[in-house]
Structure 1
Amino acid sequence: MRVGELPLRLAVIGDELVAGVGDPKGLGWVGRVVARTPAAEPVTALTLAVPGETSTGLGARWEAEVDRRLSPEADNRLVIGLGRADVAAGLSLARSRLNLANVLDVAEQRRIPAFVVGPPPGAVADGDKLAELSAAYADVATRRRVPYVDTFAPLATHDQWLSDLASGDGVLPRQAGYGLIAWLVLHTGWHAWLGLPDDGA
């Protein structure tokens, strides 16, 4: 079965950022990306979000939750939206790396193509730790030839991102911030991963 012959079904796992919390339009980055995904049939995107979840929590629940949403009549894909909770929880980089590695390895064994979106900048005080966490996640994904979107480095000093955070609670993005994450996803291998033409989003 060639790419494009089955309708796309995306299981998107992550925390409140995957759910688009704080976006007045209610789209988040997931909704914006799906809206700009030029599939022949409508894309089914199922967000499985747990606010404040660490990579340990995500690793413990993802397979059972995703299982229930897979279909033999669809091109099933896994999108992993990694959050910032590991920093607040004090998890070591080694533990965070292992948690992501385990998810990607199981997905590979089950032949579920994966795509990883890293954690964006948040509180200024967490900047260095988040930069290290994003780099660690990127290394894990790259070693497995899984696409990884670095949202931290491009946004850490981005004026629009920083002003968007400041206009809210200082942690969650709003409309503009989610739009920036969506832009990064769409321009970091999204269409190629899905085997679809790039619409120039």
Structure 2
Amino acid sequence: MTDSANGSDNGSDRQPYGVGPAYPSAHTRFDDAASAQRPFRGPAAESSAPEEPPAPAEDPAASSEPPREPYFAPSTDFTVAEGVRDVGMVFVGASTTAGYGDPKGLGWVGRVVARTQHPDVDLTAYNLGIRGSTSGDVVARWSAESQPRWKGRSERRLVLSFGTDDILSGMTMARSRLNLANVIDEATSAGIGVFVVGLTPSLDGELNRRIEALAEAQADVCSRRGVTYVDCFRPLASHDQWMADLAASPDRAHPGQAGYGLIAWLVLHNGWNDWLSLR
């Protein structure tokens, strides 16, 4: 396996952020064995450190100061019931979450759900991906759209994946980071299990530098909160099959069947079963 498959950055010695074993160099493999990887927690000293003080009540956009993340208090512990579990799982994000461009119409979400069938889990999944959705859009809609799907379910799960549209819309990294933090804090404080799937690379080198920077920021937000973050950028940035799939797509921005399979593989092998307490 080459260094590029392990997620190195053009020969750099930096270690990959987030969680994730080296990605296979050629074909997607869905292995039935649970991943041995544990959710990324970050250095112990950092994960236990409090966040910065809360931002002022006024609109941060009206101030010259960049928006600051709220102080984070430990969330309500998430519990898993005994016996058959009635799980409501909501996926919230943008076009990649919606599976745009996949001729099979599955996207990575459909493939992950198909591999999450378990005799002890009665799973109801909802894909709430919307093309062009920014983190600000997610802040505004995630709760209102998710709560009706969770009604009657004894276990609530939320999977988040967004960010590229923040960059394309000109949103500052501080605001994008704050939006993710606010969604995670609100959800976990309500006893909702949260899982975050990171940004994927594009064919544009300059855009990729900005995507990688935001991916690192998202990984840090998740690490501080003990939430699993799946790094999709570094494993795919130099993956031939991913790049070929993007190049062959009509808009050269969204993957096809193979690319969505690669994202699904990364999700399934980077803390997914641990997050769901599946054995």
Which category describes the TM-score, using the shorter chain as reference length? over 0.9
For structure 2, the residue ranges without an aligned partner over 5 or more in a row are 1-79
For structure 1, the residue ranges without an aligned partner over 5 or more in a row are none
What is the CA deviation profile of residues 90-123 of structure 1, one whole-angstrom value per residue up to 9, with x for unaligned ones?
1111111100000000001111010000111124
Q: Secondary structure at the match of 1:68?
A: helix
- Cα distance in 1 for residues equivalent to 2:170 and 2:87: 36
Residue in 1 that maps onto 2:91: 12
Residue in 2 that maps onto 1:147: 228
Correspondence 1:183 to 2:265: yes
Larger Rg: 2
Residue in 2 that maps onto 1:171: 253
- Cα distance in 1 for residues equivalent to 2:212 and 2:219: 11
Counterpart mapping for 1:36-185 below 5 A = 36-40=115-119, 41-124=121-204, 125-168=206-249, 169-185=251-267
Q: CA deviation at 1:4?
A: 5.5
Q: Secondary structure at the match of 1:73?
A: coil
Q: CA deviation at 1:67?
A: 1.1
Higher relative contact order (CA 8 A, sep 6+): 2
- Cα distance in 2 for residues equivalent to 1:4 and 1:15: 34
By percentage of residues, which structure has more helix?
1
Correspondence 1:26 to 2:105: yes
- Cα distance in 1 for residues equivalent to 2:211 and 2:130: 19
Q: CA deviation at 1:39?
A: 1.8
What is the CA deviation profile of residues 33-67 of structure 1, one whole-angstrom value per residue up to 9, with x for unaligned ones?
11111422452110112211111111111111111
Output the amino acid matched with 2:147: D
Q: Secondary structure at the match of 1:8?
A: strand
* Preserved contact between residue 134 and residue 166 of structure 2 (Cα < 8 Å): yes
Q: 1:126 to 1:192 in 2, by over 3 A?
A: same
Q: Secondary structure at the match of 1:13?
A: strand
* Preserved contact between residue 80 and residue 117 of structure 1 (Cα < 8 Å): yes
Residue-pair matches, total: 197
- Cα distance in 2 for residues equivalent to 1:105 and 1:17: 24
> TM (normalized to structure 2)?
0.68
- The alignment's C-alpha RMSD in Å is 1.4
Identity of aligned residues (%): 50
Output the amino acid matched with 1:153: R
